[in-house]
Amino acid sequence: MEKMMQKLSDNILDKLSMDFLRNQVLKNAYGNDDTFIAKLDPRVLLVWYLFFALVPWFVDRLPFLLGAFLLVAVTTVMARVAGLVLLLFVVGVFSQTGYLFVVSLLFGGNAETIVPLLILTLKVATVSLASVTVFSGLDPDRLSNGLMWFGCPERLSFSISYAYRMLPMLMEEFQNVLLSYRLRGNAPDSSGFTGKVRYLIYQIRVIIHAFYPLMLNTAKRSRTTVEALEIKGYRNAAVSPEVKKLKLASLKVGYDDMLFVAVSFLWMALTILATTIL
Amino acid sequence: METMKRPAATQSQKLMIFVLTMALYGMATLFTELIPSFQVGVVEFSVEYFLFIPLVLSMLFDPISAALGAATGELVFSEIMLGQFGGLGELEKFITVTIGVYLAGRMVKDPKNHKMVGIAALTGTGVQLFLGMLVDIFKVQFAVQDFEAVPGLPESVFATEGFAFANDLLFSGILFCMLPTLYLVPKLYGKIEPLLGMEPRSEKTALGAINGKVILACLGAFAVAVAAEMLAESGMSLIDWEADWAGSGTALAAGMVVAAAAAVIVLVIMKKRAEAGKQN
């Protein structure tokens, strides 16, 4: 039994290593651009998202919410989202409302409290799954183009593209700095409870210290980035309508997009029908 | 060398500060989002706040660029990249982070003054957490109909939110915001500014103390965050009213189903034809 517990905790620690986190993030960002969702037009998906991000907040009928939830659950599966992201979603949604339920029991709540909380959970879950579908299923470049088409500030779409390109580099650099700090320092003994606490404090201190060289390096890099952008006339291009037109010329609405919208609409119409009958 | 003498940042330097804060804070929030928090009883130990990064940068550089960069970084890296974008709620987080970081940055006139740096770091965190708590309470009130009627719910929301605020401020605020800021600001002061071609901040080049205009602007921004939630409430009655006016709901829904089914069938046929046309 003890051996099994040991194995289990080793397994969990393995899973939570820096490399694992990095792989999951990269997989989420770059790994699935061949799915049906990723090939859809970003503008159509954004409008679709807007519906599922706003409407559930306004509706309190259980059949409608359940139907919307099922639909976004199916699209999430279609988008092949990384496992870690889904796990975080589940933990996030249920710890939030579950915790609230337990505390409301303390203040004299009863089983009746669970119905409004269930509705709240469904609303939160639908909205977050819709966003998981759109924002993790879609290629970042296409997403930023779609946002730009709707007139979002150029700086936001620039930030998204920049983030996706720079993230692997930044993470690697952070890891390298962290490892070099560890190499030089002598980690305290982590046996026993006080040892564990001391080890945790040591870890946090190393992370904070690592930000000192990291900040200097990133400052240098961001200067290079901005200077490179200036050479290409970025600040002028960001406001020029001609550049925008050229950039957005690749967007096209096809049959798949219309089909996606039509099927979603059909499903929602069916749930509305069910709501009115029930 | 001319740029070294200019007191305020130029446009491209502002963009540099924006990119720097966005990249660093974004990556840090990405990690905190991925590392699950663990709870001991009701006390939650989470490494929620890497807020010291934008705090340090806003004290050393132009505060508004650093504040906007931090908020955008969090939005892009940890919400959009991980696909956890939550719609309305994100606007509120964006605004509260911007206000907190900006105020802290404006408070510090001379980064060499340790006491002021500490006070500013704690104030910035406190403002951000407090505004976040207010919005959280509003959110539950609007999402759950008949909020007052559900037994035990109002008290429990106030209790959990208030407790979370105090816990975050004492635990994350001091441990993860004040102490790292106190360590990093003096160490980076005078070293990081030349990398962006700027003069270090001093009494002369500071933007001036927080005045009524700044506070007014912050309150206005917070009102926008709350207004987004209010809009949800009024939107609810609007939709109900429309549904009443439409009369027979079932007939309308059945019509919608027929129309949608027809659209799906037409589209499938059109797609098949288009593909067949391509092959020929």
Considering CB atoms only, which of A134, A163, A208 is closest to B81? A163
Angle at A152 between CA A148 and CA A155, to 5 degrees: 90
Question: What residue segments make up the domains of chain A, in order of their start?
Answer: 17-138+255-278, 153-239
Contact residues, chain A, for B149 at CB < 8 Å:
none
Residue in B118, B72, B79, B78 with CA at minimum distance from that of residue B98: B72
* Confidence grade of residue B67 (pLDDT, cut at 50, 70, 90): very high
ipTM: 0.71
Residue B175 pLDDT class (50, 70, 90 cuts): confident
- The DSSP annotation for B190-244 comes to TTSTGGGT-PPP-TTTS-----HHHHHHHHHHHHHHHHHHHHHHHHHHHHHHHHH
SS3 at position B39 = strand
Residue range A118-132: mean pLDDT, rounded: 79
Give exposure, B113-150, as e/b (b: 16+ Cβ within 10 Å): eeeebbebbbebbbbbbebbbbbbbbbbebbbeeeeeb
Per-residue DSSP letter, B80: I
Mutate to test the interface with B, among A52, A99, A119, A211 (most CBs of B within 10 A): A211
Q: Per residue in A44-70, pLDDT tens?
A: 888 888 888 777 777 777 788 888 888
Q: Name the token pair of B21.
A: 């804060």
Mean pLDDT of B182-194: 89
Contact A139, A33 (CB under 8 A): yes
| pLDDT above 70 coverage of chain B, percent | 68
pLDDT digits (tens, 9 = 90+) for A216-225: 998 998 888 8
A98: helix, coil or strand?
Answer: helix
B4-27 tens-digit pLDDT: 444 567 788 888 899 899 888 888
Over pLDDT 90: what percentage of chain B?
A: 3
Say whether B11 and A131 touch across the interface (CB within 8 A). no
Tokens read off for A88: 């975080």
Task: Sort out which chain A residues have CB atoms less than 8 A from B191's CB and list them.
Answer: 216
Name which of B156, B257, B260 is nearest A104 (Cβ-Cβ): B156
When scoring A174, A223, A257, A278 by the number of chain B Cβ atoms within 10 A, the one with the most, hence best to mutate, is A223
**Structural domains of chain B in order of their starting residue, each with its CATH number:** 2-240 (1.10.1760.20)
Residue with tokens 């959280």: B136
Do residues A145 and A250 touch, judged by C-beta distance below 8 A?
Answer: yes
Q: Which residue of B has its CA nearest to A53?
A: B87
Tell me what the pLDDT averaged over chain A comes to.
78
- pLDDT confidence of residue A246: 80
A109: Cα within 13 Å, side-chain hemisphere: 25
> What are A140's two structure tokens?
């970042």
B237: pLDDT confidence band, cut at 50, 70 and 90? very low
Give the tens place of pLDDT for each residue, B81-94. Answer: 665 555 555 677 78
Tell me the whole-structure pTM to 2 decimals: 0.71
Q: Over the stretch A198-216, which tens digit does the pLDDT of each residue have?
A: 887 887 788 888 888 989 9
Q: How confident is the model at residue B230 (pLDDT cuts 50, 70, 90)?
A: low
Q: For the CA atoms of B152, B155, B158, B162, what is the dihedral angle to 10 degrees? A: -110
Beta bridge partners of B44: B39
Mean pLDDT calculated for residue range B194-202 = 83
Lowest mean pLDDT among B49-58, B116-125, B176-185, B234-243: B234-243
pLDDT tens for each residue of A253-275: 888 888 888 888 888 888 888 77
- Considering only A166-170, B247-251, B260-264, which range has the smallest mean pLDDT? B247-251
Whole-angstrom CA distances from B14 to A27, A206, B19, B206 are 32, 30, 9, 15
pLDDT in tens, B145-161: 556 666 677 777 788 88
